[in-house]
Amino acid sequence: MELRELAERVLFATTLEEKLQCPTVVTDEQPGAALAAPAMPGRPTELNFKTTGVGDKSEFPGLHRLDNERERGRLLHFFANHELLATELMALVLLRFPDAPAAFRRGVLQTLRDEQEHTRLYLTRMKACGIAFGELPVSGYFWRAVSGMGSPMDYVAGLSLTFEQANLDFARHFARGFAAAGDAETAQLLDQIYRDEIAHVAYGLKWFRRWKEPGQTDWDAFCRQLKFPLSPQRAKGVSLNVEGRRAAGLDAQFIAELDVFAQSKGRTPSVFVFNPFTEGRIAQGKSFTPVKHQAQLARDLAALPMFLCRQDDIVLVEERPAVEFLSGLKQAGFALPEFVERKRVASLTQRKLGRLRPWAWGPDSVELLAPLFPSLTGESRTAECSFNAGIGQLYSKAWSASFLRSFLRSHARRDEDTALNLCPLKEVGVGVNTLDAAVDAIAAIRARGHHRVVVKQAFGLAGHNALRLWEPELLESQRRWLEKSLQGGGQVVVEPWLERLADFSMQFEMEASGLRLRGYTGLVTDARGQFLANTAAANFARALPPTVLACFREVPGAAAALRATMEAVGRDLETELRAVGYRGPVGVDAFVYRDAEGHARLKPVVEINPRFTMGRLTLELMQCVVPGASRKFRLVNAATLRAENVGDFASYARRLAEQQPLRLEGEPVPRIRSGAVCLNDPAEAKAVLAIFEVVT
């Protein structure tokens, strides 16, 4: 029989008997003209593809159900359809590319014979389990993903190196499952198929390497060859079988890259990006340029949103994190997202996306993400609703001070015997926009007995744009700082420096249904009030940090009063957020301080941050920790390295691993019991290293 005739029969026959026949002698002397791919192969009616979207992943039986004979049969039904699809796709490649090298076509024929045999073997085992082929709906995903191939290279990348490579994982995984369930015959069948798949992957890899561009690595060529919706994510199964891939000839770099690669296989992904300079853009427009240290800090922390998102979500980065670093995170139990370079954001316009989740909504994130607005299925976004003047005002520290002043007036308590001590109005910051007004505000604060004063730029970056006035008189350098900050209509907030006892934050999410509390975190700051770390207690979702509660230990009903006060802050804030149409994360910083009489007082609002914060990041990291452990997120900078006599961040990370080794527990997804993990790559960090610590 001619190879073309055989391929046509396999592809177009409407009975299994015809599809699964293959004569011993096949010649390839008349390959004929190239054939366009049909919408679907010929099949018996009961094996026609189910309508796209019918059924879901829950139909696929798991290992825990293999003790049931019928469930084993259902799983074999899936496998039989996959083998039949592979057979049909191999027939298609022979018809689509008659001019392909003869040796390649002979190899495809041999693989086609193997797939026919696999199908027959599955049918036999399935029948023994009481399931008839076609009794269950069958998927046409393989066909839709591969049949549009434009070259033999598409075939070897899409079938041999994707679906057949994934079967190195599935065949071994389920062989062990069937063996554990007592079905030795099916386990042996899957072992045979596993060995055949190694040969099939090796065959595809041989031709892939022959056809790829010279100088390209296997991994780079593979990623570039696949066309959406195919991706390397489809080339692996439940757990990565390194041994099988090595046997097929895949190199160590390819295997390591595949291990940490992530892309959604069905769930609509949301898009995250770290853009910490929104306040600078709001204040200075496109002329804003971060100083060298700020820019380096942003580069070091660019991948932090990976700890905010779910598996298969997308994180935009300038450069993808190193494989070795991502591999360490995966071993620590963290689910990895898909990383897409910012310069390739336009490639996402062809995909369905869930929501857009920048670190902060501002002119910079709107500019970057606006091309993706039409692709959203989880929310509706426009430039105006994402960022407007009202939302911009939320970033102002002057607005936060005004909000606090209004809150105190509305919620002042009159019964001083049972009241929680809130800060008085006179200790709320004052927003000013002229030098004279700033000087007058400083003098007024000092006249009330507060010698130390802090002045903050209304729009500042992570605590860097603040002036601390400890001297009795305004220095000339301080006056110049004020003048520069007030240029062009700038504004500063002047407030007394208070003796802090405990800093904390509330983390919210503003949704269409309202403002939802995500939890509380403790804040650790230095003597200048700048961020050092966040802490989280076991009951972070319901109770304020213990350090805050301890400040009011002597006040009857303090815990309930504190919670009621902060809930009232949330209700008032929700009203303001609704008024400007804001949707997204919100952090509220607050603290307890000691007044002149030695009493603890609560300042329920210090700053309102309409963005993700390190506190929110800390709460999300809690999902990877066993219950009951104490957690801390902290930043290590160059000053810390000098203080601890460590040469660089990589050395610091190695010492940390020795002092606080990571301990995991739990199945199937392990969680951190104790230890420390670096959240950005210490080998690449230049300005800062983010560390998450767990202590039991």
Q: Where are the domains of the chain?
A: 68-260, 271-393, 396-423+498-610, 613-696
User: How far apart, in whole angstroms, are the C-alpha atoms of residue 13 and residue 22?
Assistant: 13
Q: What is the mean pLDDT of residues 96-111?
A: 97
**Cβ pair 119, 83 in contact under 8 A:** yes
Closest alpha carbon to 313 in 227, 233, 220, 222: 233
**pLDDT for residue 366 is more than 90:** yes
DSSP conformation letters of 385-446: HHS-HHHHHHT-HHHHHHHHHHHHHHH----TTT---BPPGGGS-EEE-SHHHHHHHHHHHH
Q: Which two tokens stand for residue 28?
A: 């390839």
Average pLDDT, whole number, for the chain?
Answer: 92
In the structure encoding, which two tokens stand for residue 9, read together?
Answer: 């029969």
Residues near 83 by beta carbon (within 8 Å), at least 6 away in sequence: 115, 118, 119, 122
| 68-260 CATH fold | Ferritin (1.20.1260)
Contacts of 491 (CB under 8 A, 6+ apart): 396, 398, 431, 432, 433, 457, 458
pTM: 0.88
Residues of the chain above pLDDT 90, percent: 82
Query: Running DSSP on this structure, what letter comes out for residue 360?
Result: B
What is the structure's pLDDT at 419?
A: 56
The secondary structure element, H or E, covering residue 357 is strand 356-358
pLDDT digits (tens, 9 = 90+) for 4-41: 999 999 999 999 999 999 899 999 999 999 999 999 99
510-556 confidence digits (pLDDT tens)? 999 999 999 999 998 877 767 889 998 877 888 899 999 999 988 88
| d(C-alpha 282, C-alpha 396), whole Å | 10
Q: What is the mean pLDDT of residues 285-312?
A: 93
Question: So what's the pLDDT on residue 518?
Answer: 95
Is 64 a residue whose pLDDT tops 80? Answer: no
- Tell me, what's the pLDDT at 62? 66
Chain mean position to CA 582: 22
- pLDDT tens track for 321-330: 999 999 999 9
Tens of pLDDT, residue by residue over 156-192, are 999 999 999 999 999 999 999 999 999 999 999 999 9
Let me know: does 546 contact 537? Beta carbons within 8 Å: yes
The pLDDT tens digits of the residues spanning 452-489 come to 999 999 997 655 678 999 998 999 999 999 999 998 88
What per-residue confidence (pLDDT) applies to 50? 83
42: three-class secondary structure by DSSP: coil
Q: Is the pLDDT of residue 575 over 70?
A: yes
Instruction: Kindly calculate the radius of gyration of the chain based on its CA atoms and give it in whole angstroms.
Output: 31
Q: What is the 3-state secondary structure (H, E, C) of 479-539?
A: HHHHHHHHHHHCCEEEEECCEEEEEEEEEEEEECCEEEEEEEEEEEECCCCCEEEEEECCC
Residue 94 pLDDT? 97
Q: Which residues contact 495 (CB under 8 A, 6 or more apart)?
A: 401, 427, 428, 429, 430, 445, 453, 454, 456
Q: Is the pLDDT of residue 678 over 50?
A: yes
Rounded to whole angstroms, the Cα distance separating 93 from 547 reads 68
Residue 540 has a pLDDT of 83
Range 651-665 average pLDDT: 95
How deeply is 365 buried, as exposed, middle or buried, from its count of CB atoms within 10 A (0-12, 13-18, 19+)? buried
- 57-71, 143-157, 332-346, 598-612: which has the minimum mean pLDDT? 57-71
Q: Which ranges of 98-163 does DSSP label H, i.e. alpha helix?
A: 102-128, 141-146, 152-155
379-437 pLDDT tens trace: 999 999 999 999 999 999 999 999 999 999 988 654 444 457 899 999 999 999 999 99
- Is residue 508 within 8 A of residue 520, CB to CB? The reply is no
pLDDT at 631 over 70: yes
Residue 181 contacts residue 103 (beta carbons within 8 Å): no
Q: Please report the pLDDT score of residue 57 as a whole number.
A: 43
With 0-12 CB in 10 A as exposed, 13-18 as middle and 19+ as buried, what is 665?
exposed
DSSP 168-205: HHHHHHHHHHHHHTT-HHHHHHHHHHHHHHHHHHHHHH
Digit-coded pLDDT (tens) for 275-293? 999 999 998 888 899 999 9
Distance CA 490, CA 284 (A): 9
**Average of per-residue pLDDT across 88-108:** 97
Give me the pLDDT at residue 692, please: 96
3-state secondary structure of 587: strand
Q: Which of 474-478, 623-627, 648-652 has the lowest mean pLDDT?
A: 623-627
